[in-house]
Structure 1
Amino acid sequence: MPTTHRVALLGALLLPVAAGANVETHLAAVLKFGPRVTGSEANAQARTYLEGQFRALGYEVRRETFTYPRFDDLGSGVEVGGRTLAGLALQGSVGQEVTAPVARVSGVGTPEEFAAAGVRGRVAVVDRGTLPFAHKARNALAAGALGLIVVNNQPGEVRGTLGEPVALPVLTVTREVGAGLRSGERATLRVRVREGDVTGVNVVASKSGVTRPDFLFGGHMDSVPGAPGANDNLSGTLAVLDLAGRVAGTPLATRSVFVLFDGEEDGLHGSRAYVKANPEIVRNLRGMFNFDMVGVNVTPLTVSGEAGLVEAVRRSSGAVGRVGDTGGSDHVPFAGAGVPTLFFHRGLDANYHQPGDVLADPALIREAVDAALKTVNALPASRP
């Protein structure tokens, strides 16, 4: 990288405060849309808003769409004693409503334990643990249960899969909900599910004429159902936008592409689709920088990935650098395609995938961007 380019990039670290202040503005604006589940109206609203911000910075924006199969819970739960209690269907469960007495199962759900509890013609309730969900469900079905409720053995909800179709309505509930389900009490189990294809949309921003970028800066825009996703991962999304804003007037902008991935929460679908659809760009990347959950300081900022990039992190910033992959996020498909990657992350906070994920610290987001820009500045001037 020529000296003049390095000076320009260092200047991007010191842009006027107004550029950084936009992080606060964007946080408030996007959070108002609600959980950004892939395929939802909130996701579309957030995408339109963020596209407008990239365009305002002078970037061209395009959308790349992709589809994948998904299992959706349309609002499952259990009604008992006049109370409606929340629950989540396990993927592979049949959608069905049944009303029957509750049968509490002592143990983890072996065939003998279901038989001893007398679950035939009843809604069986068993604790999570030891046996896979599918084994519990098959054992309950074989014992004649009309439905199965799995009670979490840890705090919070359970989102999971049976791993195979089972002809039984299966619901997971929290420990608190499970404590209110007593043997002999009549309950109505409602498992409402839908299986089908969902369309995801990646947002791709770059300067006009950029066809062979050196760097891709990315983060996923989607969140899980019920979670506004401030830290996971509006923090990473806004790190990408903030970085794009800081370098907009520098040579780095013409050597970069900025991508907001969709479908990450359902299995890295957006990043996998991008790698597949853009082989020439991917093949020539010097680095893919992925930002995921950088707005809550659970641990100091950790940057993990390819050895050469991690060494640049260590030389240039105070971030903790670790060689190797330390998280399943959108850098993974790029690493699999041979691209050197860096994963910027601060750990899982207490509101991870919860309705309480409504806060992210703009200063921490900007700190992650600082580390990324310093890392690029510390790299050799040209491709190896």
Structure 2
Amino acid sequence: MPTPHRRPTLRPLLSALLLIPAVGAGGSAAQTTQTAAEAGSIEANARAVLAFGPRVTGSPANEQARAFLETQLRALGYQTQRQTFTYPRFDDLGSGVQVAGQSLAGAALQGSAGGTVTAALVRVPGAGTAEDYRGLNVTGKIAVVRRGVTAFAEKARQARVAGAAGLIIVNTEDRELRGTLGDPEPLPVLAVRAGHDSALRPGATVTLNVRVRQGEVLAQNLIAFRAGTAPTVLIGAHLDSVQGAPGANDNLSGTLAVVDVARRAVNTPLSARAYFVLFDGEEDGLLGARDFVKTNPELVRGLKGMLNLDMVGVNAAPLTATGHPTLTALTRALPGVTAVEGRESGSDHVPFDQAGVPTLFFHRGIDRNYHQPGDVILDPALVRGTADATLAVAQALTGPGN
């Protein structure tokens, strides 16, 4: 999920949640022991996929996870298809600032120039407006401003106009700050968490190291279907995660629920009426879903519903199903599901909704590890509950008379 939803839900994690540690990139499914009884289960699949590491689009871990799940879908009797597309992306290769022998991690803002600058720090009062620079000498130095008041691009422009050799933006929260400058900026710009603020003392000589790369990314949606299927329902979730986040809840939880629905649909009429899609590039702007809609206009026009599952493995709050009235009506009798008519932004159902397809978005709210290294937690029971609800809606949508 690329951006928080309008109604973020922050709830304490239950002690009963299954903590599944990621072993980092370079792991393999073979490193996870699976008994014959548990092979293909949500628990076993979660351990196996998390072992690959963060599933950033274009990364080896992303492809390893897709290949692992594709093998399972084929074993269930589905045909699979890879839908390949490319797009430009800005990548932070590991940026930070060295202060008095201490290394402070940060994130380069999208559009920032790369480079290494060693210079004195200047604390700019306020948020880095033109007025804040009056009377300050920042020429050849590294300016430090706080987040807020003005856009990131304006902060960078004002620092550059004032003669700064680099810019550090301090977040208002003690968490990683990611953002964009819009157009390319010739100044190295780094964002750091609020907890690093005290180490950035005025006058101290520091080394700002912004390591970035701009290039084309190869992405692939994975589509599973029965031969000869003319789908009337599409059940999807995004497979990719963000840099540094193992992505257990965002969105391995939704991915595994889709695979579980596909498993349970085998030998039922639904398997011949549904497409099961694991989207890529969601975290970079819903790009996999957008490409699917653009590439398959006739198929999309034939859909009676698109069911999207995103961040459904954490939070014991009732599962929320937001979307078209004809679809939310199918959820009202389901236990543990709250139906909400309306549109929700920020996930892969949006391009389908914009194309006129009735959509239903299953979601449990933003958890405290959203887009963080701590996203290693999912509750298999919640994933199964989501699969239960999704299967019920899909079967009702494709049943006799539909």
TM-score by length of 2: 0.88
C-alpha distance in structure 2 between counterparts of 1:65 and 1:317, whole Å: 38
> Is 1:286 the equivalent of 2:328?
no
Q: Where is the helix percentage greater, Structure 1 or Structure 2?
A: 1
CA shift, 1:167, in A, is: 1.6
Q: Match of 1:167, as an amino acid? A: P
For 1:123 and 1:180, the matched residues in 2 are separated by: 14
- Cα distance in 2 for residues equivalent to 1:100 and 1:383: 72
Matches of 1:23 and 1:167, distance apart in 2: 47
Q: Secondary structure at the match of 1:344?
A: strand
The reply to whether residue 300 of structure 1 matches residue 280 of structure 2 is no
Counting only pairs closer than 5 Å after superposition, residues 166-177 of structure 1 correspond to structure 2 as 166-177=185-196
Match of 2:130 among 98, 111, 120: 111
Distance (whole Å) between structure 1 residues aligned to residue 211 and residue 282 of structure 2: 24
Hey, what does 1:219 align to over in structure 2? 237
Do residues 310 (structure 1) and 322 (structure 2) align?
Answer: no
CA deviation string 1:303-361 (max 9, x = no partner): 01111000111134441001111231000001111111100000000000000000101
Q: Distance in 2 between the 1:253 and 1:144 partners?
A: 63
Q: What is the rounded CA distance, in whole Å, between the counterparts of 1:155 and 1:142 in structure 2?
A: 29
Greater CA drift, 225-234 or 296-305:
296-305
Residue 344 of structure 1 aligns with an amino acid whose one-letter code is: F
Q: Which residue of 2 is the match for residue 241 of structure 1?
A: 259
The whole-number CA distance in structure 2 between the counterparts of 1:216 and 1:380 is: 11
Q: Output aligned runs, 1:155-194, within 5 Å.
A: 155-194=174-213
Deviation at 1:377, TM superposition (A): 3.8
Q: Secondary structure at the match of 1:108?
A: coil
Q: What is the CA–CA distance in structure 2 between the aligned matches of 1:178 and 1:155, rounded to whole Å?
A: 10
2:365 counterpart residue number = 347
Decide which of 384, 392, 402 is 1:374's aligned counterpart.
392
Describe how 1:77-116 pairs up with structure 2 within 5 A.
77-116=96-135
Deviation at 1:286, TM superposition (A): 1.0
- Pick one of 36, 47, 64 that aligns with 1:28: 47
3-state secondary structure, aligned to 2:333: helix
Q: Shift in Å at residue 165 of structure 1?
A: 1.9
Residue 20 of structure 1 deviates from its aligned partner by 10
RMSD: 1.7
Matching of residue 361 in structure 1 with residue 389 in structure 2: no
Structure 1 stretches lacking a partner, 5+ long: 1-17
Q: Secondary structure at the match of 1:85?
A: strand
1:112 positional shift: 2.4
Counterpart secondary structure, 2:377: coil
Taking only the aligned residue pairs, the percentage that are identical comes to 58
Q: Distance in 2 between matches of 1:355 and 1:199?
A: 24
Counterpart CA distance in 1 for 2:149 and 2:282 is 28
- For the Cα contact (< 8 Å) 2:232–2:398, is it kept in 1? no
Residue 63 (structure 1) aligned to one of 82, 106, 109: 82
User: Which whole-Å CA distance do the structure 2 matches of 1:86 and 1:120 have between them?
Assistant: 24
Which residue number in structure 2 is paired with residue 253 of structure 1? Answer: 271
Q: CA deviation at 1:299?
A: 3.2
Aligned residues: 367
Q: Work out whether residues 233 and 398 of structure 2, in 8 Å CA contact, stay in contact via their aligned partners in 1.
A: no
CA distance, structure 2, for counterparts of residue 330 and residue 275 of structure 1: 10
Does 2:65 align with 1:46? Answer: yes
The residue matched to 1:116 in structure 2 has which SS? Answer: coil
Q: Return the alpha-carbon distance in structure 1 between the equivalents of residues 142 and 316 of structure 2.
A: 40
Is the Cα contact below 8 Å between 2:58 and 2:219 reproduced in 1?
Answer: yes
Distance 1:356 1:107, change over 3 A: same
Alignment counterpart, residue 91 of structure 2, candidates 56, 69, 72: 72
Of the structure 1 ranges 290-299 and 32-41, higher mean CA displacement relative to structure 2 is found in 290-299
**Structure 2 unaligned spans of 5+:** 1-36
Shift of 1:217: 0.5
Q: Which amino acid aligns with 1:327?
A: S
Kept in 2, the 8 Å contact 1:317–1:375? The answer is no
What is the distance in 1 between the residues matched to 2:70 and 2:392?
A: 26
CA contact 1:106–1:117 (8 Å) conserved in 2: no
In the aligned structure 1, how far is the partner of 2:143 from the partner of 2:217? 32
Deviates more, 1:309-318 or 1:273-282: 309-318
Q: Deviations over 1:191-226 (max 9, x none)?
A: 11111211110000011221x111111000000000
Alpha-carbon distance in structure 2 between the residues aligned to 1:111 and 1:224: 34
- Give the structure-1-normalised TM-score: 0.92
Residues 133-148 of structure 1: pairs in structure 2 closer than 5 A: 133-148=152-167
Q: Do 2:257 and 2:383's aligned partners in 1 also have CA atoms closer than 8 Å?
A: yes
Distance in structure 2 (CA, Å) of the matches to 1:19 and 1:318:
26
Compared CA separation, residues 64 and 380, structure 1 to 2 (3 A) = closer
Query: Which amino acid counterpart does residue 193 of structure 1 have in structure 2?
Result: V
2:295 alignment counterpart: 277
> Does structure 1 retain, via aligned residues, the 8 Å contact 2:270–2:394?
no
